[in-house]
């Protein structure tokens, strides 16, 4: 399990921006590095935790408090694949509201449909282009941030 934390101070220099707690489950070290580089270029305050297989993922989620803001989940992982993890997450009383973004190299419509039926928020095909990855990750994080926003009481 790996962890990267990057905090960016606000313009005032005294307050920290919201720190996005991001969990990445992917067994490919190169993909994890590329994902981390994309986060750095998005220029947000974040804490990234990575796990390399489905068993590590489920152990972490079942014991971590607080939960991450968003999970990026690779489908093809050892020990427990992304399908199994997604099903467990969405059946869990504690975890079912966790936003899960599936990331994979495959793009079979039947598989994508099954993932949405199981509760995935989005499906990102692992792009070959870094700029596309950066754009997709930024969009997914911004959508999660919007869902977290609540209007202040008047």
| Residue 127 in domain | yes
Is pLDDT above 50 for 150?
no
| Residue 153 in domain | no
Given this model, what pLDDT does residue 86 score? 97
| Residue 115 in domain | yes
- Domain that residue 56 falls in: 2-8+16-148
C-alpha to C-alpha distances, 18 to 5, 6, 62, 69, 117, nearest whole angstrom: 13, 11, 24, 11, 31
| Residue 154 in domain | no
pTM, two decimals, is 0.83
| Residue 42 in domain | yes
CATH classification of the domain holding 109: 3.40.50.2300
| Residue 111 in domain | yes
Given this model, what pLDDT does residue 2 score? 62
| Residue 93 in domain | yes
Q: Contact, 107 vs 125, CB < 8 A?
A: yes
Given this model, what pLDDT does residue 1 score? 61
Q: In angstroms, how far is CA 53 from the centroid of its own chain?
A: 14
- Could you read off the pLDDT of 20-33 as tens digits, one per residue? 899 999 999 999 99
Based on the structure, what is the number of domains in the chain? 1
The Cα–Cα gap between 7 and 19 comes to 7
- Could you read off the pLDDT of 87-99 as tens digits, one per residue? 999 999 999 999 9
Given this model, what pLDDT does residue 11 score? 35
| Residue 34 in domain | yes
Is pLDDT above 60 for 16?
no
Given this model, what pLDDT does residue 41 score? 87
Q: Contact, 71 vs 25, CB < 8 A?
A: yes
């Amino acid at each position: 399990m790996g962890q990267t934390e990057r905090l960016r101070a606000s313009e005032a220099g005294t307050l920290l921006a919201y720190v996005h707690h991001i969990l990445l489950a992917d067994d490919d070290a190169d993909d994890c590095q590329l994902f981390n580089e994309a986060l750095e270029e998005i220029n947000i305050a974040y804490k990234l935790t990575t796990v390399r297989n489905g068993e590590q993922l489920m152990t972490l989620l079942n014991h971590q408090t607080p939960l991450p803001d968003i999970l990026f989940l690779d489908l093809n992982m050892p020990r427990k694949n992304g399908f199994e993890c997604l099903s467990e997450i969405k059946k869990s009383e504690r975890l079912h509201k966790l936003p899960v973004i599936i990331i994979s190299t495959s793009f079979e419509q039947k598989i994508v449909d099954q993932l949405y039926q199981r509760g995935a928020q989005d499906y990102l095909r692992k792009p070959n282009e870094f700029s596309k990855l950066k754009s997709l990750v930024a969009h997914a994080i911004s959508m999660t941030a919007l869902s977290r926003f609540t209007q202040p009481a008047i």
